[in-house]
Amino acid sequence: MPVLDFGDALNLALREEMRRDRRVYCIGEDIVLGVPFGVTKGLAEEFGPARVRNAPISEAAIVGSAMGAAITGLVPVVDMHFADFVTCAMDEVANQIAKSRYMFGGQISCPLTLRMPYGIGKSAGGHHSNSVEAWFVNIPGLKVCIPSTPADARGLLKTAIRDPDPVLIFEHRGLYRVTGEVPEAETLVPLGLADVKRPGTDVTVIATARMVGESLAAADRLAGEGISVEVVDPRSLVPLDREGLAASVRKTHRVVIAEEGPMRGSVGAWLAWVIMEACFDDLDAPIVRVAGPNIPIPFSPPLEAFATPGAADVVDAVRRVVK
Amino acid sequence: MYATMLRIRRAEERARELYAAGRIPGFIHLSIGQEAVAAGVCAPLRRDDYLFSTHRGHGHLIAKGGSLRGFMAELYGKATGCCKGKGGSMHLADASVGYLGANGVLTSGCVLAPGVGQSIQMRGTDQVAVTVFGDGAANRGPFHEGVNLAALWKVPVVFVCENNFWASTTAHDLSTAGGSIAARAAGYGIPGATVDGNDALAVYHAMESAVARARAGEGPSLIEARTVRFMGHFEGDPQGYRSRGEVEGGRQRDPIVRLRAHLEEAKLLDAAHAARVAAAVEAEVQDAVDFAESSPLPAPEDALQDLFVHYPWSD
């Protein structure tokens, strides 16, 4: 199986979908050159400037125009540049894209994909580093996916583009250069299907995006202590594979939830309730959560490191639930 | 245009009575006095052209050819409403006539329309996208982002500012720097025109040339139609912020009276013909009210429908 990095896997997905369907186009700031993460690099050469559209710094117009195009026959893939900037287009995402189909009684469909480069790292500071997926999980009308591997990134982005509804794909910028095997054949990853990244028997770690890799590293360490960790990646948060998560919990009876975003009001809090509702009688210990602190991401390296949950936090959390 | 304006006027007058009688829930924002803008903007449009509107969008829906029955039933929150009772007065839509939605968030259409223009361009049709917004909305950022993008891309979009000089309860002079919305077009290198929004023919002519320009691939235009809101911001608004004289003065500029006088002078309309038009409009509006009254309310669990086209697995 070929090995690609996460960013190249996304690039491949875009290329495949743009070749398959002439209605698909990309729009965003600096996407012709693929700045800053290289995901759209080279697409303009193959598909031309009308389908790989560099936009002015106008987030509301980028996202709004993509919706206008989507409801009248095109299939836009919007690059948000950095997910933090989505606040400049929050009306378009939260009020227009998410609500129109519903408010208009199903008359209007909005097949739009919003690529959300996000996450902590490299002292990028408070306007380029936050994990904001929880904002969107709370908005009815949006589907939200969050890949952790190159293969999932390609498969989920392709599914998102083909989905008739608006889908947000959260691409952790710390994963762009992480490599992994990607199937030669075109593969779609369905929304709402969790994936067991590592089977185990003593504890289920439910982790998203960068925290999946951290959790796998933690599982390696814990294996040395005789603790068998199952790492489950939901891959999409809306829709959520409740049954897939519950099946793992029924096997292990212990749960750690690991995410990068702030602890308060987070996706992990929602997942904990989902598990509690589905498997309360199966739980042998209270659910333990690993998440970021409730602060904007700071700049200075030691401060940023403090705000970054990692494998060591997962190790501590697992030890707490199995003791 | 005369019949369209009369249809809007009568439908809204009836809505006003029915709202006062407690038959219509929520809030309604009437466009009585502004009918010439709706009629003049929509007259040069085809059914397959697109229109985005404002929270004060009843007239735009009716002028675009939206179903009166669907309109009235939606105001009532009935299952047969154009949005199945999920939208209401502020979120009307009728995609079958290209009416892509009234909007509770002002100015949003200004960024949606350039994307529709882009889609028209990429599909290679000669359709046009129009967005109507108020003078208050022209002060929000998306107005500038949308006009800039449309001008940059040279897409077939007409931006129409329906300027009634009131942003809710805030006067134009207290909210709008520079005085003229149309003058802002110059900053983006596109044509801008100011017209008397109570003169249906003036709106029509300005719109006709903007639409022709858009269809010819020459890009967007901005029209500022200056008009008068006869009623309050919403029904029940006591309008303490506004002088009685201003409202009365506005009524002297009634666009329907004005167009009728013009048509009579041009020997295009006589009293008998006008009476026939009025009777036909009255019957249509009555039919819509009867339809709305006799339609069923949606089942409560219908609230869970229409969120997604396709929802795989559970949530």
Question: How much is the pTM?
Answer: 0.95
Among chain A residues, the shortest Cα distance to B102 is held by A104
Would you say A314 and A211 are in contact if contact means Cβ atoms under 8 Å apart?
yes
CA distances from A238 to A53, A155, B97, B175, B311 (A): 28, 16, 33, 41, 9
Among chain B residues, the shortest Cα distance to A65 is held by B115
According to DSSP, the β-strands at B157-163 and A236-238 are unpaired
At residue B314, does pLDDT exceed 50?
A: no
* Residue B149 in contact with partner chain A when CB distance is under 8 A: yes
pLDDT digits (tens, 9 = 90+) for B92-145: 999 999 999 999 998 999 999 999 999 999 999 999 999 999 999 999 999 999
What residues have CB less than 8 Å from B96, skipping those under 6 apart?
A: A107
Q: Is A91 in contact with B123 (Cβ distance < 8 A)?
A: no
At residue B302, does pLDDT exceed 60?
A: yes
Interface test with B, best of A58, A195, A277 (most B CBs within 10 A): A58
pLDDT digits (tens, 9 = 90+) for A39-68: 999 999 999 999 999 999 999 999 999 999
* Residue B94 in contact with partner chain A when CB distance is under 8 A: yes
pLDDT digits (tens, 9 = 90+) for B193-248: 999 999 999 999 999 999 999 999 999 999 999 999 999 999 989 888 998 888 88
According to DSSP, the β-strands at A236-238 and A143-145 are antiparallel
**Mean pLDDT in chain B?**
95
Among chain A residues, the shortest Cα distance to B85 is held by A105
Averaged pLDDT for residues A228-233? 98
At residue A228, does pLDDT exceed 50?
A: yes
Would you say B106 and B140 are in contact if contact means Cβ atoms under 8 Å apart?
yes
At residue A76, the pLDDT reads 98
pLDDT digits (tens, 9 = 90+) for A266-280: 999 999 999 999 999
* Residue B154 in contact with partner chain A when CB distance is under 8 A: no
* Residue B299 in contact with partner chain A when CB distance is under 8 A: no
- 10 Å CB burial of residue A273 (0-12, 13-18, 19+) is exposed
